[in-house]
Amino acid sequence: MSVKDVSIDPAVPELLEKAENDGLETVWHRFASQQPQCGFGLLGICCRNCVQGPCRIDPFGEGPQKGICGANADLIVARNLLRSATGGAAAHIDHAYEAVEALYQAAVGKAPYEIKDEAKLKAVAGKLGISVDGKDKNTLAREVAEAAFADFANHGAAPMKWLTATAPAERVETWGKLGLLPKNPDREIRTAMHQTSMGVDSDPVNLILATVKMGLVDGYGGLHLATDIQDILFGTPSPVVSDANLGVLDADYVNIIIHGHVPLLSEKVVEWARKLENEAIAAGARGIKLAGICCTGNEVLMRQGVPLATNFLAQELAVTTGAVDAMVVDVQCIMPSLADITACYHTKLITTMPIAKVPGAEHVPFDIEKVDETARQIVRIAIEAYKNRDPEKVRIPGHRSKVVAGFSVEAVVGALAKLNADNPLKPLVDNIANGNILGACGVVGCNNAKVVQDSFHVALVKELLKNNVLVVATGCAAHALGKAGFLTPEATLQYAGDSLKAVLTAVGEAAGLKAPLPPALHMGSCVDNSRIGDLLKALAAYLNVAVKDLPVAASAPEYQHEKAIAIGTWAVALGVFTHLGVVPPVLGSQVVAGALTGETAENLLGGKFYVETDPIAAAQGIIAHIKDKRAKLGI
Ligand code: NFS
Ligand code: SF4
């Protein structure tokens, strides 16, 4: 295979060559050997929901048009889509639940976490209607955790509290009228699995509505809940300067990579890596370097300044450097192939969660009550492994880019407050109204082997910035922009259109940064898409309009995971025009594809999906949408 054409990240071809020399197979080799991929699967018209199947529909209209039970293409596509969204929501909700459990255990003194952000704790309690008066932080944290548990134990008809407490009121009303308000996240997941099982729902429209509901389950029972609780436990992020790309590894140090999504253990690994520096030095290293992959990487970047190693598609190549002593994984987006790659080097692959084991890895169980011991053990395993590192096999690409991250809503409002203390959103809104900022776009989501790694993220963002569209980013998109140098003040000077540049420079100077704000603001991990939702809610409230009326858009240019399908559906439900750069498996049904990308979604929700696989055309589509919304607002 040609190693040149798979990524725009300069570290990738170097390491891909090394991987091939070392006799290793990577995600790109396997992608090539999967070609051509199954056309039925790509269109979403294959059903395995019962054992009479698999059944598939002939997309050309000549062969079978119905599965054995009578299900047609519309039904099969709609059922498959709901199951995907449910898989994604289940991942986020399980993640959020773990965080709630940790908060509860910490509050009752059973888990060794200190509740770091009392202001956020009080703010969240306030939204939930919990009185904060005279309560110490542990009591209040316990009550907030209990309120979250109550959503999971909701057996009545009331909607999920976390949704009604945090979503815009206009949306709650709209969703309520459509009968889409979720009750108990666990129950909604169960119901969706039931609804999509053989012989239950055969109405594709009803299934599409259930998918939208699942987007709300994800948005509030997953994303928002996880962000709130993690901020309370570990602190709300504020701007931090760090680096991105594999050049952050250092041959003279013990290198530990933290990979996955849930920061409960990785926060402790960071703490213990700092505490055990001396043991690393005693082992002959100069110290310990930590670096992150995927969203655990984003979490520890935002709160601890830990550099980003790389994003989803290059996780195997991180190990191929031969310089990683331990790769510690928790859940989600962990390639099963990692064990094959680590087996070629001295690298220890350490799994930690009971639901995410990998044959060939060492399993060090995460036990919340003994998390300090677990983290200490993991760091010591890395130090031991370092002693076995073969310097002959080490090749660390020299690429690293500066990144500024940590733009929580609180941090953004804090920076703007330097311009207008009484009315922090006013400078931002004024600059949107006068056209200095044309609009904003959240660029989010994954890498996908179907797309040249990071290329869509970067080309899209370049075009948006040139047209004065402010970008906010999360997930592996934020990694991509970080590696490509878009998360820096320098990028504002290089890429932003003149009026956007002037605004970002003025805000940066007023905020005391002595430099412009970056043109793409790193707002966190994928669960932190909730932060983007909160920012939209605040802007809409300030302007006294609905989120669907704002000149904004979202884009997942290179998404791969079911989680992205759930998040995208939530964004559309919120009223956001949501671009997808990879064709979702729905084209086998005009009913489903048409409803999600057309007037049905727009009339009911105000948002819709927009599929475009060319980055420049996608940017133009997003800009046209933003201009249309501006015109409707009369600005
Ligand atoms: Ni989001 Fe983050 Fe990356 Fe995609 Fe995976 S890490 S949770 S799913 S691949 S962005
Ligand atoms: Fe075939 Fe129907 Fe069974 Fe699906 S549910 S596998 S379409 S018989």
For 293-337, write each residue's pLDDT tens digit. 999 999 999 999 999 999 999 999 999 999 999 999 999 999 999
- The answer, yes or no, to whether residue 395 has pLDDT greater than 80, is yes
Contact 571, 601 (CB under 8 A): no
Identify whether 500 is part of a domain: yes
What's the DSSP call for residue 388?
T
- In a shared domain, residues 551 and 439: yes
Q: What is the ipTM of this complex?
A: 0.94
Distance 530 CA to ligand 1 centre (A): 15
pLDDT score, position 3: 59
Asked, for residue 409, whether it belongs to a domain, the answer is yes
- Summarize the confidence of residues 153-181 as an average pLDDT: 98
Residues 349-393 have pLDDT tens digits of: 999 999 999 999 999 999 999 999 999 999 999 999 999 999 999
Task: Look at residues 393, 415, 437 and tell me which one is the last residue of a structural domain.
Answer: 393
* Chain segment 116-141, per-residue pLDDT in tens: 999 999 999 999 999 999 999 999 99
Cα of 203 to ligand 2 centre, how many Å? 15
Structural domain contains residue 9:
no
Query: Best of 55, 65, 79, 200 to mutate for ligand 2, by most ligand atoms within 8 A of CB?
Result: 55
The answer to whether 154 touches 160, Cβ cutoff 8 Å, is yes
Residue 17 included in any domain: no
Q: Do 419 and 387 lie in a common domain?
A: no
Model confidence at 583: pLDDT above 80: yes
pLDDT at 16: 97
Residues 552 and 425 in one domain: yes
Same domain, 310 and 447: no
291 and 168 part of one domain: no
Mean pLDDT on 208-218: 98
Residue 292 domain-assigned (yes or no): yes
Domain shared by 273 and 170, yes or no:
no
Instruction: Please work out whether the CB of residue 480 comes within 6 Å of at least one atom of ligand 1.
Output: no
User: 321 with 417, same domain?
Assistant: no
Spatial distance between the Cα atoms of 225 and 271, rounded to a whole number of angstroms: 24
Q: Which residues, including other chains, have CB under 8 Å from residue 517's CB and lie 6 or more apart?
A: 415, 489, 492, 504, 507, 508, 511
What CATH number does residue 596 fall under? 3.40.50.2030
Average pLDDT taken over every residue of the chain: 97
Ligand 1 centroid, distance to 139 Cα (angstroms):
34
Report the nearest-CA residue for atom 5 of ligand 1.
Answer: 333
Q: Look at residues 200, 234, 268 and tell me which one is the last residue of a structural domain.
A: 234
Find out whether the beta carbon of 508 lies less than 6 Å from any atom of ligand 1.
no
Q: How many folded domains does the chain comprise?
A: 3
Which ligand 2 atom is the nearest neighbour of the CA of 53? 6
Say what the pLDDT of residue 511 is: 84
| Higher per-residue pLDDT: 336 or 510 | 336
What is the spatial distance between Cα 335 and Cα 357, in angstroms, rounded to a whole number? 11
Ligand 2 centroid vs 50 CA: distance in angstroms? Answer: 5
Task: Tell me how far the alpha carbon of residue 261 lies from the centroid of ligand 1, in angstroms.
Answer: 8
Residue nearest to ligand 1 atom 8, measured at CA: 561
Which pLDDT value is given to residue 4? 65
56 within domain boundaries: no
| Binding-site entries | 38, 46-47, 50, 55, 69, 261, 295, 333, 446, 476, 526
The token pair at 374 is: 């677990």
- Where among 376, 393, 410 does a domain terminate? 393
Q: Are residues 449 and 492 in the same domain?
A: yes
561 lines ligand 1 (CB under 6 A): yes
Whether residues 364 and 335 fall in one domain:
yes
Query: Quick one: which ligand is closest to 564's CA?
Result: 1
465 CA to middle of ligand 2, Å? 47
Instruction: Dump pLDDT digits (tens) for 261-275.
Output: 999 999 999 999 999
Rg (CA), the chain: 24
In a domain, 13, yes or no: no
Q: Do 172 and 305 fall within a single domain? A: no
Indicate which ligand has the atom closest to the C-alpha of 65: 2
User: 585 and 478 in one domain?
Assistant: yes
- Domain CATH number, residue 96: 1.20.1270.30
Q: Which residues line ligand 2 (CB under 6 A)?
A: 47-50, 52-55, 67-69, 71, 198
Ligand lying closest to the C-alpha of residue 76: 2
Above pLDDT 70, what percent of the chain?
Answer: 99
- For residue 329, being part of any structural domain is answered with yes
Are residues 332 and 463 located together in one domain of the fold?
no
Q: State the residue range of the domain holding 615.
A: 402-633
